[in-house]
Structure 1
């Protein structure tokens, strides 16, 4: 049996892989592991539980709360809140544990369970392993006053989180609201930011055009949000917005759209914000942390700007580990998952949107102009589905095809095969100096992966 925790918590099809029983057992084990580590020493333990709007989150959050309370932990249920909001509340209000129920950008039938420790940080691998090992063990249950209590937050977490986000912005010219004069279209993906995202942008002074902010438990990420920005691109142009921003289901990602409807991806956003921080003398070590999926054009642009790039494996947890190890304050992924360590402990899509919009205001430049900081090399990414991801780095035929592709591209491109951490998918990425070369090599390699690794 494989490891229960993936690169971003426990994730799978809700009520089949991620069940109420699993959620309860995980929560009890987490309480026991953290208790044994001394995290609860000297006080009654407290946890905060949040979720995205998936209908399965209703029973899963109830199961998590039940498990924690049965283990003697007092639980505050904040309802629907972005993942970074739960992380912020965990740290800002001194909770011992935070739990988020979400499958992020995955389709609606999926769901997941993610834990945060005191301070709002994700669990290290060894703690996750300890939790998995202690699931289902016999234990002495508290009774009477030893049982935890469950209370509803009543919307206070949303208010606190929005206030925190807006306070990260500098005042606008002549003391105006930070985003005064900007019209921003926002696609909330019918997800966790449906309330928070528009509220934060409006509180910062923007004129906000909102789409896909009516979650019904079933429509999260459904042809909308950061995984499907086409609707936002059309709305930005039709509404005359200065820019648009798109979140994913749990709002830890943000992609942008310029006034002409062109997509501005995470690499370009990172480049814009890194240059802004360097200009202000705030970019610690003049370093930006990126993953192997970032476009080579970002690395070249940062070199030209006097900024060093440090590469990690794919996944925000690895970006964050490198940032914490080196004391860096900015890092992220091409997908729009950006971490700004001075303001957040994890990727935060709404924070990214606010900071990007503020850069437009303070420079007086359009987003399209700012995005020219990064000239992206032609890049093709193909998700090959229905394959055995575990054999991607082992199959001789696939390895030979990769070697052939690398030889063809030479120094003007690169190849990356990355198995998904949660799905039977292998992602084939090819960069080249010319688009037709990237297309040809990527599709040829994807076909080899499809044939050799078919389930």
Structure 2
């Protein structure tokens, strides 16, 4: 790093001092905190993004959002060249940058890291970082801090994509690095063209089985609702009523996180909506859940991420079977494409049982999208969703290349055959779903297309399986690292003896299942329990809380 570059970094860094006593940690959600504390952090993440762009010779994304958090919070995270999250190997460096107390210590960190990673600055091609933010009032100021950080590396440009959903920015990064036009309009065009293609190839059936063409969407008073409102006239058969579209407080009594956790209708929904198909986005539109209001109440029946995953898996498995030819008892199993479903231990046990009964391969990973996404990428078609509604479908490049060739063959030899239509549907799904990251908008359109294809109401969909009652609790501890887990966080190896005690307690309850894991963000141990009854799940969870207190010796929060 030459002297001119070092001086530029020192000048910029001196304008963004770290708040006294603040400590920041980069996790699955990037950095998050009260917005008033984040200016120095966002500036330093701008530096990080520029350096990552230089190192990878690719476009990087920087998104300013706190997703489903309250409106006074904000956050910042990076999108890597694939459109996915920042590689885990750079997370410790992100932490060190964010917490460097003085400009000179920040500069020394950069010098050491550049040397360690053999990053060549001189003569590097012009690098680029795409910037996006959600609708939070604090976003504009933080965006300027990010620009300062990015451009403090000479030769790096900051391209402001405006107010966008988090998945839109991730899609733009992925598209641009693939040489595809990457504007917001391109995003909509690809998504809606694919949506219409799926609708065009719906089998002709008895019209009396038609699904309602009306969908009511809770926009969480965030960016996703605003974007969906602008798309309403382009949706063909689907009539969308978007509520909570910016007139209220972001994420307050609204949004996918509220609906999934509270199992209550969001603001501006109520008894008048009983039985209607409803969906809820979160504040930055990377989570999606469905629900319907129960008659004469504000309570709901929730159709969560586990059931979205099951719907997608059912449809994709069906298309693979059709593509393979007539089902003679061997066809589905003989097809070479691997189809895998990835969940965490928080997935309801009933969903896992259902997926296995469908003959699907189900694997577990530790909690966190980065683990789910990485595992799903090992399959030709990998599907992952968390119960909170964050997830997507990944298609391998090798499978898509094969599918394109297969489609061309079928076009010339068997056009309009069932196999040809299945190939077209699979290609349409690969273009509709956002393969960079979970995306509430693309997920919503895929759900709607599949329900139309199946001729299913939301009630029929919800009857795929019955969730087991569950309970989540947490225990406050001084040091959460005292709990060490294995087998995708389902078994405890330390403290010694606690897993055996949990197993003995769990065995007392029909369909009992329980695990504990240290939180990734708080000094607490989280307890999850399932049983055949809600009373049983509650008792099991509370019993295991007492075991944690006994083995770790700390009080409950």
Scaled by the length of structure 2, the TM-score of the pair is 0.63
User: In the TM superposition, what is the alpha-carbon distance from 1:449 to its structure 2 partner?
Assistant: 5.2
How far apart are the structure 1 equivalents of 2:527 and 2:514? Answer: 8
Task: Please show how residues 221-232 of structure 1 align to structure 2 within 5 Å.
Answer: 221-229=251-259, 230-232=264-266
Q: How does 1:29-428 map to 2 (within 5 A)?
A: 29-39=48-58, 43-71=125-153, 72-94=155-177, 157-169=183-195, 170-172=197-199, 182-200=213-231, 203-205=234-236, 206-214=238-246, 219-229=249-259, 230-232=264-266, 235=269, 238-239=272-273, 242-258=276-292, 260=294, 261-281=300-320, 284-341=337-394, 342=430, 343-344=433-434, 345-383=436-474, 388-393=479-484, 403-410=500-507, 412-428=511-527
Q: 1:329 aligns to what SS in structure 2?
A: strand
Structure 1 residues 258-305: Cα deviation after superposition (integer angstroms, max 9, x where no partner):
364411111111111110111111895232111121111111101211
Query: Which range moves more in the overlay, 321-330 or 309-318?
Result: 321-330
1:440 and 2:539 aligned: yes
CA deviations on 1:160-186 (whole Å, 9 max, x unpaired) are 33323223323436999xx99521111
Cα separation, 2, equivalents of 1:428 and 1:34: 40
Residues 426 and 190 of structure 1: is their aligned pair in 2 closer, same or farther, counting only changes over 3 Å? farther
For residues 129 and 476 of structure 2, what CA distance do their matches in structure 1 show?
37
Please say if residues 340 and 379 of structure 2, whose CA atoms lie closer than 8 Å, have aligned partners that are also in contact: no
Deviations 1:77-100 (CA, angstroms, capped at 9, x unpaired): 122211111001112234xxxxxx
- Are 2:530 and 1:431 aligned? yes
Once residues 271 and 194 of structure 2 are traced to their aligned partners in structure 1, the CA distance between those partners, rounded to angstroms, is: 28
1:58 Cα offset (Å): 2.0
For residue 312 of structure 1, report the CA deviation from its aligned partner.
0.9
1:389 shift after superposition: 3.7
2:46 matched residue in structure 1: 27
| Number of aligned residue pairs | 391
Distance 1:250-1:174 versus aligned 2 partners, 3 A rule: closer
- 2:223 is paired with a residue whose SS is coil
| CA displacement at 1:333 relative to structure 2 | 0.9
8 A Cα contact 2:281 2:288, kept in partner: yes
1:11 to 29, 32, 36: 32
Matched position secondary structure for 2:289: strand
Superposed displacement of residue 372, structure 1: 1.8
Q: Distance in 2 between matches of 1:168 and 1:318?
A: 28
Aligned CA distance change for structure 1 residues 400 and 223 (closer, same or farther; 3 Å) = farther
Give the drift of 1:318. 0.8
Gaps of 5+ in 2: 1-21, 60-122, 204-209, 295-299, 322-334, 395-429, 486-491
- Structure 1: which 5+ runs fail to align? 95-117, 121-155
Distance in 1 (CA, whole Å) between partners of 2:126 and 2:387 is 41
Normalised TM-score (structure 1): 0.75
Aligned 8 A contact 1:296 1:377 in 2 = yes
Shift in Å at residue 412 of structure 1? Answer: 2.7
Aligned counterparts of 1:384 and 1:44: Cα–Cα separation in 2: 50
**Cα 1:285/1:14, change in 2 over 3 Å:** same
Measure, in 1, the Cα distance between the counterparts of 2:42 and 2:499: 40
The structure-2 alpha-carbon separation of the partners of 1:28 and 1:258, relative to structure 1 and needing over 3 Å to count, comes to same
The offset of 1:244, in angstroms, is 0.9
SS of 1:53's equivalent in the other structure is: coil
Do 1:158 and 1:196's aligned partners in 2 also have CA atoms closer than 8 Å? Answer: no
Say which SS state the counterpart of residue 258 (structure 1) adopts: strand
Give the Cα–Cα distance (whole angstroms) in 1 for the partners of residues 134 and 476 of structure 2.
Answer: 26
